[in-house]
Amino acid sequence: MENGEAPPPRYEQAISPEILAGLAYQHMQLPDTKVTLAPAANTKVNLPTWAWLDKAVFDEVQATAALNADGSIGEPYAQGKSTQTPPCGLRYLRSSGDGTYKLRATITWDITWTGTGGAGGDLPDGTFGSEQAITVQEIQAVNR
C-alpha cells in the first residue's frame, strides 16, 4: 500500500498502529538519572544538599516522551543560596562513616502514542532510575 492509503477492509494481517506503538515503546532509550549535588564531593551532616537533574538531559525522546515546563527537575545551586532551602534537596542527619549512602533518583515518564488517522492511546508509564554513592562526613565545631 502507498503511504497514507487505508488498508482494505478486513485485512487480517495488517500491522495495527497499536502494535507499532508497542514496538517503539520497547526500543525507547531514555536518559540516565544521575543527580547533580552541591556540595558535589562530600556533603556534611545537617547541611542542606541541593539536588537537580540538568534539563539538557531531558530532551524529547522519539516514540514520544516529554517533560512539561522547561524540562529541568529541581534547581541548580548558585553561589549565595547556601542559607536557602533547596526546592529539591537532601539533608543527612548522620555520617556515612567509612562507607556511603545510596541515593536513588527515579523519573517516571508519562507515555502516549499517536498515529495517522487519529489513532492513539496510552502505554505503561516508564520508570527509570539510577543509584549514586554519597559520602556524608561529620564536622565538629567548638563555640566559646
Residue-wise DSSP of 37-62? EES-SEEETT--EEEEE-GGG---BT
Length of the chain: 144
Classify residue 12 by its DSSP letter: T
Over range 96-118, report the average pLDDT: 82
Nearest to 139 by CA among 42, 53, 65, 26: 42
Nearest to 28 by CA among 125, 130, 132: 125
Please report, for residues 19, 30, 41, 66, 120, the alpha-carbon distance to residue 69 in angstroms, rounded to integers and kept in the order given: 30, 18, 30, 10, 23
This prediction has a pTM of: 0.46
pLDDT at site 64: 40
Compare 3 and 105 and report the one with higher pLDDT: 105
Compare 90 and 118 and report the one with higher pLDDT: 90
**66 pLDDT higher than 50:** no
- Cell digits for 56? 539538557
Report percent pLDDT > 90 for the chain.
Answer: 5
> What 3-state class would DSSP assign to 83?
coil
**110 pLDDT higher than 50:** yes
Confidence of residue 58 (pLDDT cuts 50, 70, 90): low
Those residues with Cβ within 8 angstroms of residue 139's Cβ, 6 or more apart along the chain or in another chain: 44, 45
**6 pLDDT higher than 80:** no
Confidence of residue 59 (pLDDT cuts 50, 70, 90): low
Amino acid (one-letter) located at 78: A
